[in-house]
Amino acid sequence: MKQRSLGTARTAVSALGLGCMGMSEFYGESDDSQSLATLTRALALGVNFFDTADTYGFGHNESLLGRFIAQGGAARRAQVVVATKFGIVRAPGQYERRIDNSDAYIRSACDASLQRLGVDCIDLYYCHRRNPDVPIEAMMASLAALVRAGKVRQIGLSEASADTLRKACAVHPVAAVQSEYSLWSREPEGGMLQACSELGTSFVAYSPLGRAFLTGTVSSATLADNDFRKHNPRFSGAAEASNRERVEALRGIADGLGMTNAQLALAWLLAKHPHVVPIPGTRRIAYLEQNVAAAAHDPPSTEQVAQLDALFDPARVAGTRYTDAGMAGIE
Ligand SMILES: NC(=O)c1ccc[n+]([C@@H]2O[C@H](COP(=O)([O-])OP(=O)(O)OC[C@H]3O[C@@H](n4cnc5c(N)ncnc54)[C@H](OP(=O)(O)O)[C@@H]3O)[C@@H](O)[C@H]2O)c1
């Protein structure tokens, strides 16, 4: 697997990471043994960058990753780059959230994550969502104290604005910004990618497959009732039908290049910028292997990238990427 570097410390990570969220929550039922097998296969294929958060499955996701790391002992711990997040607080079983960026919360959340992950230090610790009541400088000071204490190696922000990133970097380097970025979610192109380039911050693209919609393999009619996507505006009604037309056109282009939709969606992201690291999520070895192969594929040409840009021009994508409840803390 090709590598990319993270932040000014230039930590080597695989060009594609693995998003672990779906192994615990949001995308229907999961099976821990299948998820552990997928994690093991990922590492064997050269994927070393694993993404989780304390809120995914209310701790289950971090504990699962902790089991995976423990199974391989110290050698595995040294191989993996663990990224986790704090800041979204939910009542068990609820989607609605409150955002906490207070110093006391950050310190206790970090200790709880370290314990669940079974590690001494979190390689990359993100603020999952911003609470504007806590100035960014104060929150960065809390995180810098965790770095000094040896509990966190590098700091990240998720769904923060370019302005927040600049203020944060004045306090302490920010290794990565993680936000939604894919063919159908192009907000980072409005200044964030440029800010990351200037500041030496990597950009981690989450939901790079549009939560599977871009792959053309899911439809709202077949999703389980407890699947988060069932209530996502882009997967609903007329918006879904309109978005599906774009995905069918994507399939035509991907077929012509000998790729799957998923592979072309990932190759497009990798071609966009050398500091972009997509983290596709999957619980299945077959999907994982298909996605990993995208990094070895010839990158799409400038003309092909432009064609895809136009196909998924934001004005042609129907529906918002979150419900109102999901927009809490997004800058
Ligand atoms: N910072 C944030 O606020 C935030 C928000 C959302 C997600 N994330 C992170 O980003 C990661 C990735 O995002 P995501 O999981 O939301 O969305 P995604 O990566 O765009 O899509 C994941 C979905 O695509 C399916 N899939 C994966 N590869 C496929 C392939 N080759 N063909 C067909 N389907 C495929 C998966 O199926 P199976 O699972 O059934 O295999 C899963 O349903 C998450 O795991 C999480 O770590 C962060």
Q: How far is the CA of 208 from the centre of ligand 1 (A)?
A: 7
Q: What is the per-residue pLDDT across 128-138, written as a single tens digit (0 to 9) for each?
A: 999 999 999 99
Q: What does 97-165 look like in DSSP terms, one character per residue?
A: -EE---HHHHHHHHHHHHHHHT-SSEEEEEE-S--TTS-HHHHHHHHHHHHHTTSEEEEEEES--HHHH
Q: Which residues line ligand 1 (CB under 6 A)?
A: 19-22, 27, 51, 128, 158-159, 178, 206-212, 215, 217, 262, 279-284, 287, 290-291
pLDDT tier, 323 (very low <50, low <70, confident <90, very high otherwise) = confident
Q: Which fold has domain 3-210+272-299?
A: TIM Barrel (3.20.20)
Mean of the per-residue pLDDT values of the chain? 95
pLDDT at 48 over 80: yes
pLDDT, mean of residues 245-256 = 96
The answer to whether 56 is a known catalytic residue is yes
Domain ranges (residues) in the chain? 3-210+272-299
The closest-lying atom of ligand 1 relative to the alpha carbon of residue 26 is 16
Q: How far is the CA of 224 from the centre of ligand 1 (A)?
A: 16
Nearest to 17 by CA among 123, 112, 152, 129: 123
| DSSP-derived pairing of the beta strands 3-6 and 11-14 | antiparallel
Q: What is the per-residue pLDDT across 131-165, written as a single tens digit (0 to 9) for each?
A: 999 999 999 999 999 999 999 999 999 999 999 99
In sequence order, the 6+-apart residues with CB closer than 8 A to the CB of 231 are: 323
Closest-CA residue, ligand 1 atom 47, reads: 19
pLDDT given for residue 214 in this prediction? 98
Cα separation, 246 vs 268, in Å, equals: 15
pLDDT at 204 over 80: yes
8-state DSSP, 185: B
pLDDT, mean of residues 93-115 = 94
Helix (H) or strand (E) holding 40: helix 32-44
Q: What is the per-residue pLDDT across 266-307, written as a single tens digit (0 to 9) for each?
A: 999 999 999 999 999 999 999 999 999 999 998 999 999 999
pLDDT at 329 over 80: no
Structural tokens at position 198: 């200037």
pLDDT given for residue 143 in this prediction? 98
pLDDT given for residue 10 in this prediction? 86
Cα separation, 212 vs 131, in Å, equals: 29
pLDDT given for residue 321 in this prediction? 86
Cα separation, 147 vs 103, in Å, equals: 14
Q: How far is the CA of 184 from the centre of ligand 1 (A)?
A: 14
pLDDT at 240 over 90: yes
